[in-house]
Every structure is written in C-alpha cells, then in structure tokens.
Structure 1
Amino acid sequence: MPRNITERQSHQKAIYSGTFDPITNGHLDIISRAANIFDEVIIAVAQSELKGPMFSHEKRVEFVNAATHHLPNVRVEGFDTLLVDLATQLNVNTIIRGLRAVSDFEFELQMGYANASINDKIETVYLMPTLENAFVSSTIVREIIRFDGKFQHLVPKEVLKCM
C-alpha cells in the first residue's frame, strides 16, 4: 500500500550498494545525484568474495571513502549480509540503484522486487548516470587495467592516488 506523503520522515536516508571494484565515475555520478536528493546517503561496499574482486574489500572501502570525501552527507559502510538486512539495521527504507542501459533494467527490477518481498517497507529508486558516464562500469575498468590500458579518465582522481 502506498505511503502517505505526510508520513515522510524528517531525515531521509538512502543506501547505494555495490562491489565498487573499483568505484568509477559512473558510480560517483549516481552517488552525487543521490546526495542531492537525500539528507544522508550510505554507500554500502559489498564484500562479494564469490565475485572474486580484483581489489580487497578494505581497499574498495578506502577507494569509496576517498572518492566521496567531498560529499558531507555521504558515509561508507562495508558489509557482508543481504542488502535488505543492512538497510533494516541502519533504519533505511530507500535503496538507490543505477541504470546505465535497458540491459540493466531487467536485473535491477528483479532485485527491487526481491528486496521488497523480504521487506515491504523498502523502496527502490533508480537513477541514470549522465550520458558521459553511461558506458562506464567496473567490469570495463578492470579489463582495461588487466591489459595495462588507459583507465584514468574512468575513475575519480582520488582513487588513482590510492592505487
């Protein structure tokens, strides 16, 4: 059942999760947009050992902290649970997801429905990056890094300093 606008909490929080392996300019674009909409945005860095990340969990948290330090209403949390459980633990009812292309939509829609089936108070908000960042993904960046290609223009400059 839709919530009434009068039920709006005075402090709106949202959570944006990912492996951020590494964080890209596309991620930062979504984070910046979310930070303009919500009072507080929690960036949840998933441990995701099953994905076999290129960078350690600690390093990825460091990258995200470095890339978002200029955004006062953004904080970073590492996690290794269901995102819905983390959101409940942090008293967050809004999950932010990024959509680059139509191909992202089907997966993200299924995840949004799955999350809502676990916790019906969870709302998912989908944000699109700017056209300039629409093609950028961590997968592309990792592949370029593996082959010693030029990737510096695809990640925040603060992340380059950490690398």
Structure 2
Amino acid sequence: MRIAVCPGSFDPVTNGHIDIFERASGMFDLFIVGVFHNPNKKPLFTMEERVDLLKKSTEHIKNIKIDCFSGLLNEYVRENDSKIVVRGLRAISDFEYEFQRALLLKKIDSEIETIFMMTSNEYSFLSSSGIKELANFNGNIKGLVPEYVEIKIKQRISDLKKQMNR
C-alpha cells in the first residue's frame, strides 16, 4: 500500500492546500494530512478545530485521512507505515525553506523521501497567514478558502474582536 503524509499547521486550510490534497491523493492509496502542533506559532484555531475544518473541506477525497500529531515528523511518518512526505510549494522562497527541512529529514531518516508539488497558478499567492490578515481587516476571502472554512474564520475573527472591545 502506498501511503503519503502531508504535514502542516493548516491554520486555516486554504484552497491552495485543497488543490495539493486533491492532486497528490491520486498518486497514493492513502493520503494522510497531519495537522502539526507547532509550539512556535499562535494559531487562530485549536488543533481539534483545524482537524474539523480539514475533514469538512476534504469530504470529497475518498482516500484521505485527517489526523494530528506533535513531535518529530519522521516518527509520525513511520508510525503511519509511510516513507513519503508531500509538501506543497507556492514560490521559490517556499522551496528554499522546504528543501532545508527535507534535507534534515533525510539526514535523520534516509529512507523517507520528500515529494514537492507546486500548487496551481491560481493559488500561488495564497497563504494561511495572508488569509488571516485579510479576514482580520474584513477583506473578501470568498473563493480563497472552502466555504465552511470561510464561515468559521469570520466567526472566529468576530469573536476575537468582541473580546478585545470588552
């Protein structure tokens, strides 16, 4: 069975992520999206909420599994009987960062391979941080994230603004 793992914080998941998931899932028997707990980031959504957003946004992909993890990526990949990591790229700057991470992963575990996939041109400018910033200033995020995610982002931003005004 060909199993691949696609790790990330996905805070929030964008249509660029979904594009990668749809295309990459066709190459594997099982495609695991692992929501990673990054202690260096302050997420808009909890890990459980991000898993929910991903599950709702990927219901149409039959061979996808949404999961979460913390700790070392190589251990998570091994625990899921995989040797393949899929990483999405938007630009050269993404490649430099991801290339360094892939080399470190290869140094730690020489059997794990990293596959880089370019997102479709229409999503090459999308980033989760850009989506959050746009939403925070009441910008239109329609078509940039799945509809369910759009609703949840707007609710969260509204709730945060209400809390700040108290």
SS of the residue corresponding to residue 110 of structure 2 reads: coil
SS in 2 for 1:37: coil
What is the TM-score normalised by the length of structure 1?
0.90
Q: For 2:130 and 2:46, how far apart are their aligned partners in 1?
A: 18
> 1:48 deviation in Å?
1.7
CA–CA distance in structure 1, aligned partners of residues 50 and 39 of structure 2: 12
Q: 1:47 aligns with which of 34, 37, 40?
A: 37
Aligned partner of 2:10 in structure 1 is 20
For these two proteins, the number of residue pairs brought into alignment is: 153
Matched, 1:153 2:143: yes
2:3–2:84 CA contact under 8 A, matched in 1: yes
> What's the offset of the Cα at 1:106?
0.8
- 1:38: how far off? 1.0
Is 2:22 aligned against 1:32?
Answer: yes
Give, in whole Å, the separation in 1 of the partners of 2:8 and 2:23. Answer: 16
User: Structure 2 stretches of 5 or more lacking a match?
Assistant: 154-166
Residue pairs, 1:16-95, within 5 angstroms: 16-95=6-85
Cα shift readout 1:79-107 (whole Å, capped 9, x = no counterpart): 11111110011111000001111111111
- Percent identity (aligned): 37
> Distance between the aligned counterparts of 2:110 and 2:85, measured in 1?
12
Query: What is the TM-score of this pair, normalised by structure 2?
Result: 0.88
Asked whether the equivalents of residues 141 and 150 of structure 2 are also in contact (C-alpha less than 8 Å), the reply is no
The Cα shift of 1:39 comes to 1.1
Unpaired runs of 5+ residues, structure 1, are 1-10
Shift of 1:71: 0.6
> SS at 1:50's partner residue?
coil
CA RMSD of aligned residues (A): 1.1
1:50 Cα deviation after fit: 2.0
Task: Name the aligned partner's letter for residue 116 of structure 1.
Answer: K
Task: Give the superposition deviation at 1:161.
Answer: 4.8
**1:141 CA drift (Å):** 0.3
Residues of 2 paired with 1:88 and 1:27: CA distance?
A: 23
The CA distance in 1 between the partners of 2:55 and 2:39, in whole Å, is 20
